Amino acid sequence: MNRNLLVAALLVGFVALAVPIIGSAQPAPGAQSAPSAIYLPGLGDLMTMTVQPRHIKLALAGREKNWTYAKYELHELEESFERVVRVRPKYRGAAIDAMMEAITKAPMAAVSQAIANQDAVQFTSAYGQLTDGCNACHQAANVGFVVIKVPDAASFPDQDFRLPKP
């Protein structure tokens, strides 16, 4: 019987110790507090974070005739545009997807063809058209002061855009 009393006393002691600890635990997310706001980047943020770096890397890969990497970056640029449309479908009431489609479809196809042909001259021309399209879009959106250009220097000092040596 003493053993049963000892077990019961230990259980009561553990419960007495556990109650304050349980009471001070953080509530489950959303249980008692307002949910935290989800960060939704603005259009400018998306352009700077996702589109602009891909645009630059695509140019640098093409300049180095690294066609495998250029193809990869073109795909990444396409995904960046898709991400912009998904996160920010409208800008000042205008549908971003329609604007992007109208402005980037033909130049992106031309860049893709230049990469497939491994043609540096064709790539330079198509990339220039794509860049001109970016600026036309900025003009149409009344942010023409945002001027995109063909990069003249690599802004990724930790990346080599040349073809890897076997």
Which domains, from first to last, does the chain contain? 43-140 (1.20.120)
Q: Give the tokens for residue 4.
A: 């049963």
Lowest mean per-residue pLDDT among 7-11, 58-62, 77-81, 152-156? 7-11
Contact 96, 81 (CB under 8 A): no
Distance CA 145, CA 143 (A): 5
Per-residue pLDDT tens digits for 36-60: 788 889 999 999 999 999 999 999 9
Given a cut of 50, is residue 15 above it in pLDDT?
Answer: no
Which pLDDT belongs to residue 31? 54
Distance CA 59, CA 162 (A): 12
Per-residue pLDDT tens digits for 68-111: 999 999 999 999 999 999 999 999 888 999 998 999 999 999 99
Given a cut of 50, is residue 133 above it in pLDDT?
Answer: yes
Strand-pair partners of 94: 91
